[in-house]
Amino acid sequence: MEVAEQAVATLTENITEVAAQPGELPEKMVAWVIREEREGEPKDAFQLEEIEVPEPGAFEVIVRVMAAGVNYNNVWAALGEPVSIMRYGDHPQYGHHIGGSDASGVVWKVGPGVTRWKVGDEVVIHCNQASYEDPEVHGLDPMAAPSQRIWGYETTWGSFAQFTKVQAQQLLPKPKALSWEEAASYGLVYFTAYRMLLTRCNLQAGQRVLIWGGAGGLGVFAIQLCAIAGAHCVGVVSSAEKGDLVKRLGAIDYIDRNEFAGMMRTGEESPEQEKERFVASRAFAKRVKEILGDAPDIVFEHVGKATFPTSVFTVKPFGKVVICAGTTGYNLDFDVRYLWMKQKEIIGSHFANAYECMKANELIESGQIRPVLWRTLPFDGVAEAHQLMMENKHLGKIAILVGAEREGLGKSAEGPGAIYAEVGG
Ligand SMILES: NC(=O)c1ccc[n+]([C@@H]2O[C@H](COP(=O)([O-])OP(=O)(O)OC[C@H]3O[C@@H](n4cnc5c(N)ncnc54)[C@H](OP(=O)(O)O)[C@@H]3O)[C@@H](O)[C@H]2O)c1
């Protein structure tokens, strides 16, 4: 065994044990840590370290992490792109980053003022934080608060560790029929998709929706939300295997984007090339219309630069393009005539507030929306999981076992559990 492998093995050997009773904290814990000097590909940026366990402040809770969920945000955190997160949130105070914006676990210690939760409660965690003192939190929306930040991305104490520090308002009851890893897998992307479609676009039965990345983290929940709302959707994917998953989740059909590779905007096109690109966008929009019966009322966007001109063109007059990311680039360049002449709307959206998270979580508890798990990896797989995600080799979600000794533990009721996406990779 190489020295690095040996070090990982030593640190993760007893990861499922903690040297303290509930209500007390050990001095140290094992965590995957990113530091500014090693930002780069996830396989290099994430390193295991022994690090202090934080104490909970007022209205804060320390949760023992049983399982964590993997999200694209910590691919960005590893890369240090588009900006280094070390300059934001509480990172300047601590000088390191423990990623992880999804978790299931057990309340281990509560800070002053916490009354809704007690030691021993089984929880999942939503990833929005905001200061109790900001007026926006009390009258507008915590997403509008100047203090708003994403736990485990813009904050230091995320879920790829034995313990995590969160605000009490982030806690939600763990759905009883889910295992630890299933419960840890869905929050960030599902709650984001919920706000995008239900709050920001007022999704209605009978509407038509185009979903980019239909087999990805956001996409698998956007499709299920459309299905239970009685809306008709088509998912865009890059393989037939992913297409099968999309149909299984309730999409009418899928489109393989490789058939329309020419529609992707690079930003480097000459006027002639742009004309050709537009021909491919037009053919794509025609296919969408054929599948849905008409142009979509809503386009669900997160790909950004490569697809945005096609999204604006494809959405129906007076329709909405709702966007929460720009994975392929965030400087968007599109022909605005299709926007103003047809009175279309572009709507920005970012995560969700605690009330939306609670309502969305009830649909998981009732089994109407199900987590979609591709793989569950042991704790030593955190860096590998982010690498797989960056390379777009996954479907749905990846979970990480932390305190849970094996998969399948933590269920206390019968229920449908997660959908398992067993292909790809
Ligand atoms: N603002 C927020 O609150 C928020 C919340 C969640 C996520 N995000 C961001 O949203 C983005 C997606 O997150 P995710 O969790 O859904 O990631 P994901 O699991 O990687 O899924 C994204 C999907 O996008 C598709 N895709 C990738 N490159 C593409 C391209 N060039 N053209 C068209 N489709 C492409 C891939 O599907 P195919 O290859 O099958 O097409 C992939 O499955 C990330 O940038 C993430 O950081 C933002």
- Report d(CA 116, CA 336) in Å as an integer: 49
Q: How far is the CA of 389 from the centre of ligand 1 (A)?
A: 9
Q: Is residue 85 predicted with pLDDT exceeding 60?
A: yes
Give residue 97's pLDDT.
98
Give residue 10's pLDDT.
83
Which residues, in sequence order, are CB contacts of 268 under 8 Å at separation 6+? none
Phi-psi region of 126 (alpha: psi -120 to 50; beta: other; left: phi over 0): beta
- Report d(CA 423, CA 425) in Å as an integer: 7
Give residue 1's pLDDT.
56
- Report d(CA 377, CA 28) in Å as an integer: 23
Q: Is residue 424 predicted with pLDDT exceeding 90?
A: no
3-class secondary structure, 239:
coil
Choose which residue among 392, 397, 398 to substitute to test ligand 1 binding: the one with the highest number of ligand atoms within 8 A of its C-beta.
Answer: 392
Task: Check if the beta carbon of residue 67 is closer than 8 Å to that of residue 183.
Answer: yes
pLDDT digits (tens, 9 = 90+) for 281-318: 999 999 999 999 999 999 999 999 999 999 999 999 99
What's the gap between Cα 291 and its chain centre? 28
Give residue 422's pLDDT.
72
Q: How far is the CA of 74 from the centre of ligand 1 (A)?
A: 13
Task: From 187, 194, 238, 183, select the one nearest 216 (Cα to Cα).
Answer: 238
Give residue 9's pLDDT.
80
Give the ligand 1 atom nearest the CA of 326.
45
- Report d(CA 234, CA 207) in Å as an integer: 12
Q: Which domains does the chain possess?
A: 3-188+352-420 (3.90.180.10), 201-348 (3.40.50.720)
Task: Check if the beta carbon of residue 226 is closer than 8 Å to that of residue 189.
Answer: no
CA angle 54, 356, 147 (to 5 degrees): 45
Half-sphere exposure of 175 (CA within 13 A, CB side): 31
Q: How much is the mean pLDDT over the chain?
A: 96
pLDDT digits (tens, 9 = 90+) for 14-35: 999 999 999 999 999 999 999 9
User: Which burial class, exposed, middle or buried, applies to 350 when counting CB atoms under 10 A from its CB (0-12, 13-18, 19+)?
Assistant: middle
Give residue 8's pLDDT.
72
DSSP count for the chain of H helices, then E strands: 14, 18
Query: Phi and psi (nearest 5°) for 30?
Result: -95, 135
What percent of the chain lies above the pLDDT cut of 90?
95
Q: How far is the CA of 342 from the centre of ligand 1 (A)?
A: 27
Task: Check if the beta carbon of residue 100 is closer than 8 Å to that of residue 74.
Answer: yes
Task: From 182, 122, 102, select the one nearest 417 (Cα to Cα).
Answer: 182
Task: From 160, 181, 162, select the one nearest 382 (Cα to Cα).
Answer: 160
Choose which residue among 303, 353, 423 to substitute to test ligand 1 binding: the one with the highest number of ligand atoms within 8 A of its C-beta.
Answer: 303
Give residue 32's pLDDT.
98
Q: How far is the CA of 79 from the centre of ligand 1 (A)?
A: 16
pLDDT digits (tens, 9 = 90+) for 193-232: 999 999 999 999 999 999 999 999 999 999 999 999 999 9
Give residue 2's pLDDT.
65
End-to-end CA distance of the chain: 26
Give the ligand 1 atom nearest the CA of 219.
16
Task: Check if the beta carbon of residue 76 is closer than 8 Å to that of residue 42.
Answer: no
Give residue 3's pLDDT.
58
Give residue 425's pLDDT.
41
- Report d(CA 195, CA 202) in Å as an integer: 9
Ligand 1, atom 37: nearest CA belongs to which residue?
213
- Report d(CA 357, CA 339) in Å as an integer: 31
- Report d(CA 267, CA 264) in Å as an integer: 9
Choose which residue among 249, 327, 351, 375 to substitute to test ligand 1 binding: the one with the highest number of ligand atoms within 8 A of its C-beta.
Answer: 327
Task: Check if the beta carbon of residue 135 is closer than 8 Å to that of residue 110.
Answer: no
Regarding the beta carbon of 307 and ligand 1, being less than 6 Å apart is answered yes
Cis, peptide link before residue 146, omega less than 30° from 0: no
What mean pLDDT is predicted for residues 319-335?
Answer: 97
Q: How far is the CA of 15 from the centre of ligand 1 (A)?
A: 31
Tell me which amino acid residue 32 is: W
Task: Check if the beta carbon of residue 15 is closer than 8 Å to that of residue 403.
Answer: yes
What mean pLDDT is predicted for residues 355-371?
Answer: 98
Q: Tally Cβ neighbours within 10 Å of residue 314.
A: 24
pTM for this structure?
0.97
pLDDT digits (tens, 9 = 90+) for 107-164: 999 999 999 999 999 999 999 999 999 999 999 999 999 999 999 999 999 999 999 9
